């Protein structure tokens, strides 16, 4: 039925509307079309009320144009009949007689009131809302796209879900842009209706007197009745369409239709209902007021308030009963095994203050389900299984606070106020809330009330819910602490899984050349430098070759990095080019001469002054390149790489250190964007 309507009826109807502007029609057909016009407008109004979100009625702007053209066609057809025959069908005649009700002045006043309501109030308001909505939606598009990318990077959504959400954002922008233009049709239709009414009234009186020989009084009565009836039947439909436009542009995405949402939200406050009911009864006691009407309304509001109290009491009792049952079950099952589990130090743990434990309620978008998604993402990105993340409440934490623990040691904490969302970006000055600094990216943000999230979104800020804030923080900590989380059991599982697909790589390496503990030290060393270990077969093959010469961990790590060189360099390439910071040859020679092996680890032992100069040069170079929007890598001789990284890791952790071999292995063209010297850093001119 829907395909038939879209493929046949609509195009034929549009052609019919065009013919309606040109070809005269009989009065009976005009009656049918007027009734169809009113029914069509009523159907659109009810549909706009029952949709859950504006995009569910995305065809509305096109229907608005068609309905406007249809009404203008009916205006032309009725004007032709009014002026030529002094009669425009039974519908217009009936509307005119009912509205006039024996008094031409009353009919004219009522008609003018309807016109003012439709044009000044509804149409003007809908036009303004559509215009503001279109502008804010377009301004908020970059922030929404950033939020989608952040969720995708955090593993909260898949690629398919990200594409669907991007398409929804684009569709929303297109819809509000179309509504901004479509609202102009409603305004133009209202203006055209007023002009046509004046033409019918003035032109009808003149034609009635000159062509039909009517007296002035007869012509005035006849054509005023027809004019009011004609204007009324079109203005009613126009008013319905204007209200539909306002309904659509003022709706927000909701999980229920407008009627259900309005009933649930209006009846959510028992105090408001009691005060309103008492106020209604009090107004009825004023002398001259109709007491029965006020008393009935006040009593109805008080009854509704009592029902809200009963419903709230039942909900609270159910929650309390569930908490008691859970506490009883926990007490009954708290045996030795449960106590041992409580004693055990978990690899990763999220502690929540008691007032924010609702984040771990077990719903589809809560903290627990997002942790599962993060574990999948970490497995794909880094190549190892993130241990199960324990989530528990802690009365030791301040209100609204969470803490992330790695092996029982706190690695980070933050606040996530209940009923708020984190808005990051610009345009937050006018929004209420608490200003904070994002714990991961160091960006300025503000915790704003959840009901203000739409306003923050329209202001161009990126809005992040509480669970996403914690997951993003956890992801950053896991990437930084991955080398501490890789256990010997994890290495055993990875080795057994690799043996199923590449048995030769495993048999060649272990246990003859390296033990699982030795492999674990190498893999942890790679993860410490944020090098993924998902290409495990290539790593094992490189270790097997190196272990025949030496089993020292630094040499094994360098051998594995050499095998992964192209993949490592590719992670830092930008637009097919590698931006590198080099070390001055004289300084590099000094570093080579000062290399020492301390407890099996290579270290560069310079004088304290020289070390401070080098670190200061690296910091300033990295800061200048960061301000220029460049993300470089520091390259040096292979024998220096580990020593240089150890020297600068505590000062500039975000600056990767690659050897010449690793930087050249992928074949990317290189741009030298900086040189580290003892005196001062030199930024290469014209590069970046």
Burial of 127 (0-12, 13-18, 19+ CB in 10 A): buried
Name the more confident of 249 and 620: 620
Q: Is the pLDDT of residue 686 over 50?
A: no
44, 190: one domain:
yes
- Report the distance separating Cα 261 and Cα 256, nearest Å: 6
Q: Which residues have CB under 8 Å from 294's CB, separation 6+?
A: 280, 281, 283, 284
69, 179: one domain:
yes
Q: Which residues have CB under 8 Å from 189's CB, separation 6+?
A: 68, 71, 72, 238, 241
Residue 409: inside a domain, yes or no? yes
Q: Which of 461, 497, 269, 541 is nearest to 385 (CA)?
A: 497
376, 429: one domain:
yes
Q: Of 158-172, 373-387, 584-598, which range is least confident?
A: 158-172
What's the pLDDT score for residue 211?
Answer: 66
- Report the distance separating Cα 231 and Cα 240, nearest Å: 14
Name the more confident of 323 and 76: 76
What's the pLDDT score for residue 680?
Answer: 46
pLDDT in tens, 518-549: 999 999 999 988 889 988 999 999 999 999 99
What's the pLDDT score for residue 684?
Answer: 44
- Mean pLDDT for the stretch of residues 623-644: 85
Confidence band of 77 (pLDDT split at 50, 70, 90) = confident
User: Domains in the chain: how many in total?
Assistant: 5
Q: Is the pLDDT of residue 107 over 70?
A: no
162, 212: one domain:
yes
517, 658: one domain:
no
535, 582: one domain:
no
419, 541: one domain:
no
What's the pLDDT score for residue 522?
Answer: 92
Residue 269: inside a domain, yes or no? no
pLDDT in tens, 216-232: 666 666 766 677 777 77
Helix 104-116 and helix 216-250: axis angle, to 10°? 20
Residue 370: inside a domain, yes or no? yes
What's the pLDDT score for residue 276?
Answer: 78
What's the pLDDT score for residue 403?
Answer: 92
At residue 111's C-alpha, the angle toward residues 105 and 115, to 5°, is 140
The CATH number given to whatever domain includes residue 600 is 3.40.50.12790
Confidence band of 2 (pLDDT split at 50, 70, 90) = very low
- Collapsed DSSP state (helix, strand, coil) of residue 407: coil
What does the chain come to in residues? Answer: 688
Over its C-alpha atoms, the chain yields an Rg (Å, rounded) of 37
Pairing state of beta strands 348-352 and 578-583?
unpaired
201, 53: one domain:
yes
- Mean pLDDT for the stretch of residues 638-659: 84
pLDDT in tens, 239-275: 777 777 767 766 655 555 555 655 666 666 677 777 8
pLDDT in tens, 24-35: 778 788 778 878
101, 183: one domain:
yes
Q: Dihedral of CA 439/441/442/445: which sign? A: negative
Q: Of 36-50, 289-303, 306-320, which range is least confident?
A: 306-320
- Mean pLDDT for the stretch of residues 277-295: 78
Confidence band of 635 (pLDDT split at 50, 70, 90) = very high
DSSP string, 307-365: HHHHHHHHHHHHHHHHHHHHHHHHHHT--HHHHHHHHSPPSEEEEE-GGGGGGGS--TT
Q: Of 146-160, 164-178, 469-483, which range is least confident?
A: 146-160
DSSP string, 503-562: HHHHHHHTTTT--HHHHHHHHHHHHHTT-----HHHHHHHHHHHHTT---HHHHHHHHHH
What's the pLDDT score for residue 623?
Answer: 84
The parent domain of residue 413 ranges over 343-482
Residue 688: inside a domain, yes or no? no
306, 348: one domain:
no
pLDDT in tens, 303-353: 777 776 555 555 555 556 665 655 555 555 455 665 565 666 788 888 888
Residue 98: inside a domain, yes or no? yes
At residue 403's C-alpha, the angle toward residues 399 and 407, to 5°, is 150
Residue ending a domain, choose from 204, 235, 252: 252
pLDDT in tens, 432-472: 877 888 777 777 888 888 877 777 777 777 888 888 888 88
Residue 119: inside a domain, yes or no? yes
What's the pLDDT score for residue 520?
Answer: 92
Residue ending a domain, choose from 448, 482, 516: 482
What's the pLDDT score for residue 250?
Answer: 64
State in Å, rounded, how far the first CA of the chain is from the last one.
60
Name the more confident of 644 and 312: 644
Residue ending a domain, choose from 431, 448, 482: 482
| Mean confidence (pLDDT) of the chain | 77
Pair 520, 488: CB distance under 8 Å: yes
Q: Which of 113, 245, 116, 248 is nearest to 185 (CA)?
A: 245
Residue 490: inside a domain, yes or no? yes
579, 558: one domain:
no
Residue 13: inside a domain, yes or no? no
- Collapsed DSSP state (helix, strand, coil) of residue 375: helix
Q: Of 201-210, 601-610, 670-679, which range is least confident?
A: 201-210
What's the pLDDT score for residue 8?
Answer: 55
Q: Is the pLDDT of residue 393 over 50?
A: yes
Q: Is the pLDDT of residue 104 over 50?
A: yes
Q: Is the pLDDT of residue 504 over 60?
A: yes
84, 206: one domain:
yes
What's the pLDDT score for residue 39?
Answer: 82
The share of the chain scoring above pLDDT 90, in percent, equals 4
Confidence band of 291 (pLDDT split at 50, 70, 90) = confident
Q: Which of 139-143, 422-426, 583-587 ranks highest by mean pLDDT?
A: 583-587
């Amino acid at each position: 039925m829907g395909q038939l309507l879209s493929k046949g009826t609509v195009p034929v109807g549009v052609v019919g509307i065009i013919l309606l502007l040109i070809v005269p029609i009989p009065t009976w057909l005009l009656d049918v079309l007027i009734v169809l016009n009113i029914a069509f407008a009523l159907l659109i109004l009810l549909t706009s009320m029952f949709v859950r979100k504006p995009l569910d009625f995305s065809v509305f702007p096109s229907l608005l144009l068609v309905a406007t053209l249809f009404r203008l066609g009916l205006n032309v057809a009725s004007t032709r009949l009014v002026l030529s025959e002094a009669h425009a069908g039974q519908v217009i005649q009936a509307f005119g007689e009912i509205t006039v009700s024996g008094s031409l002045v009353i009919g004219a006043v009522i008609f003018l009131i309807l016109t003012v309501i439709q044009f000044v109030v509804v149409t003007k308001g809908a036009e303004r809302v559509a215009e503001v909505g279109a502008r804010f939606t377009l301004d908020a598009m970059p922030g929404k796209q950033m939020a989608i990318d952040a969720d995708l990077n955090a593993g909260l959504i898949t690629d398919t879900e990200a594409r669907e959400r991007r398409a929804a954002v684009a569709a929303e922008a297109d819809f509000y842009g179309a509504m901004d233009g479509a609202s102009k049709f409603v305004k133009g239709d209202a203006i055209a209706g007023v002009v046509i009414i004046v033409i019918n009234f003035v032109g009808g009186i003149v034609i009635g007197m000159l062509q039909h020989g009517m007296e002035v009084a007869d012509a005035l009565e006849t054509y005023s009745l027809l004019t009011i009836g004609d204007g009324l039947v079109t203005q009613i439909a126009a008013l319905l369409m204007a209200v539909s436009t306002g309904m659509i542009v003022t709706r927000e995405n909701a999980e229920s239709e407008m009627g259900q949402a309005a009933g649930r939200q209006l009846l959510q406050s028992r105090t408001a209902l009691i005060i309103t009911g008492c106020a209604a009864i009090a107004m009825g006691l004023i002398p001259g007021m109709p007491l029965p009407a006020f008393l009935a309304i006040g009593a109805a509001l008080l009854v509704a308030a009592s029902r809200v109290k009963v419903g709230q009491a039942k909900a609270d009792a159910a929650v309390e009963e569930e908490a008691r049952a859970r506490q009883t079950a926990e007490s009954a099952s708290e045996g030795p095994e449960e106590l041992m589990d409580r004693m055990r130090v978990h690899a990763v743990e999220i502690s929540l203050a008691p007032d924010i434990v609702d984040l771990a309620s077990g719903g589809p978008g809560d903290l627990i389900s997002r942790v599962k998604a993060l574990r999948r993402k970490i497995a794909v990105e880094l190549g190892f299984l993130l241990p199960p993340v324990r989530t528990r409440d802690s009365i030791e934490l301040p209100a609204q606070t969470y803490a992330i623990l790695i092996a029982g040691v706190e690695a980070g904490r933050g606040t996530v106020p209940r009923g708020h969302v984190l808005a990051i970006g610009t345009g937050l000055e006018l929004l209420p809330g608490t200003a904070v600094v994002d714990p991961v990216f160091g960006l300025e943000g503000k915790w704003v009330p959840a009901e203000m999230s739409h306003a923050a979104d329209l202001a161009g800020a990126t809005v992040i819910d509480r669970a996403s804030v914690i997951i993003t923080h956890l992801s950053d900590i896991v990437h930084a602490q991955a080398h501490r989380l890789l256990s010997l059991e994890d290495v055993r599982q990875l080795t057994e899984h690799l043996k199923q697909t590449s048995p030769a790589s495993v048999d060649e390496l272990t246990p003859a050349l390296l033990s699982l503990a030795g492999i674990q030290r190498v893999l942890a060393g790679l993860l410490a430098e944020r090098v993924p270990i998902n290409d495990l077969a290539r790593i094992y093959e490189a270790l097997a070759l190196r272990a025949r010469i030496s089993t020292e961990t630094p040499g094994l790590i360098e051998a594995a990095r050499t095998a992964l060189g192209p993949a490592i360099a590719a992670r830092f390439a930008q637009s097919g080019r590698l931006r590198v910071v080099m070390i001055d040859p004289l300084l590099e020679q000094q570093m080579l001469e000062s290399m020492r092996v301390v407890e099996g680890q290579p270290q560069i032992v310079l004088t304290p002054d020289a070390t401070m100069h080098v670190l200061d040069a690296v910091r300033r170079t990295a800061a200048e390149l960061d301000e220029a929007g460049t993300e470089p890598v520091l390259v040096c001789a292979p024998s220096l790489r580990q020593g240089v990284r150890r020297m600068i890791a505590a000062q500039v952790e975000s600056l990767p250190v690659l050897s010449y071999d690793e930087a050249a292995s992928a074949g990317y063209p290189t741009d030298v964007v900086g040189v580290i010297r003892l005196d001062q850093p030199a930024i290469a001119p014209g590069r970046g």
